[in-house]
Amino acid sequence: MFEQYAKTAYRGKQAAKFRNEIATDERDSMFCRYQSKQAFYPRDGVFGHCFDNSQNSCYKGNITGAEKYARSILAKGKNELAMPLAGNATNIAGFVIFSWAIIHFCIVIFLFVMPLFSLALGAVDVALEFLAGLSLCWIVSKLINWLIWPFFRFKYNLAVIFNRATGMVEVPTKNAKDFDIFPFEEFNAHYRVQHNPKSGFPYRGFTLLHYQQSMRYDQTFSNQIASAFIHWELLQNFMDVTQPLADIPQFEYYREFDKTTAEFDKANGRPKYFWYRVDKSFLKEMSKADDELRKEFNDEEQLDNLLMGKPIKKLTPPDIFKFPWKYADNIKPESEIKFGKTLWQKFTSFLMVDL
């Protein structure tokens, strides 16, 4: 059965008769058994580009050095074409660390909000109690971050690594100390929905699941599936060495190390380190073009098509996504590239825990 399923599952082909019968007991995860029954995202381009609002944070991360630091921590010394991505936690270590980061973030928010709120009500004593208690919690968390966590950071694998050089996906094991490694072609993007108790609207995304093993990478976004399609195309583009990397901030670091991309950039006269040199205001033009393209994509209709195994509408993106540098007015000279955090960014980074 697995052999038959593999032939239909690779490249995201829809074969319901196999999908609906497969993996009832073979997988060690009930979640993965459930996800293996869900619809496939097709293995081809729908939007035809990989740019969405998430690239804004990648742009900022490139400039501040956060992306470089994250690679040094998460890529585990792999080659220059290894892209680590932290999705939903898939092991206990990842869950604990993610929970710690969320709790610390909440402490920081309450540290400012609760005393001010109490003062606004005239409760000075309560404000001081909140300030003292939350400050103590923040100090303890930061001391753990500075004095204890560095000794354990490199012992755990906290991200799934997509390796363009080898064509492999490296998924952290249950103990987070090793990796299970499988070819990217053996993974499929299965539709996933996650409930959001705050808004009542579900998060929609996908589980990138190995066709046979309980190896996965999870991502959920807003209640629309457009972002999930774009992220799925991003992964496919990164792992397909026959085509150049998409021209997005997230991939700027990798472009010079990839032969196919370097040849494309040279042939088309692309400015080196474009996304380090262009003004951040250009991101608004890219986002505007993405918004216009999404208007042609009826999210609800395409979700129904996905769940029913029908073809998804394909869009034709404008050239700004393929040749963004041709539409940018303000590109700094390479000698003027400056990396580093602003004073405000340094302050906010100091408040948070450094994973």
pLDDT digits (tens, 9 = 90+) for 17-70: 555 555 445 678 888 888 988 998 998 889 999 999 999 999 999 999 999 988
Rounded-to-integer distance, Cα 73 and Cα 157, Å: 9
List the alpha helices (DSSP H) in the chain: 2-9, 16-19, 30-35, 54-64, 66-74, 92-120, 124-143, 226-239, 252-255, 259-268, 274-277, 282-294, 299-308, 343-351
pTM listed for this prediction: 0.88
Secondary structure in 3-state letters for 104-167: HHHHHHHHHHHHHHHHHCCCHHHHHHHHHHHHHHHHHHHHHHHHHHHHCHHHCCCCEEEECCCC
Can you give the pLDDT of all 355 residues of the chain as single tens digits? Answer: 555 555 555 544 545 555 555 544 567 888 888 898 899 899 888 999 999 999 999 999 999 999 998 898 888 888 999 999 987 777 788 888 889 999 999 999 999 999 999 999 999 999 999 999 999 999 999 999 999 998 888 888 889 999 999 999 999 988 888 899 999 988 999 999 988 776 678 899 999 999 888 889 999 988 889 999 999 999 999 999 999 999 999 999 999 999 999 999 999 999 999 999 999 999 999 999 999 999 999 999 999 999 998 999 999 999 999 999 999 988 999 999 989 998 998 999 999 998 7
Rounded-to-integer distance, Cα 247 and Cα 252, Å: 7
Tell which residue, 6, 22, 41, 35, has the closest CA to residue 309: 41
* CB-CB neighbours of 353 under 10 Å: 20
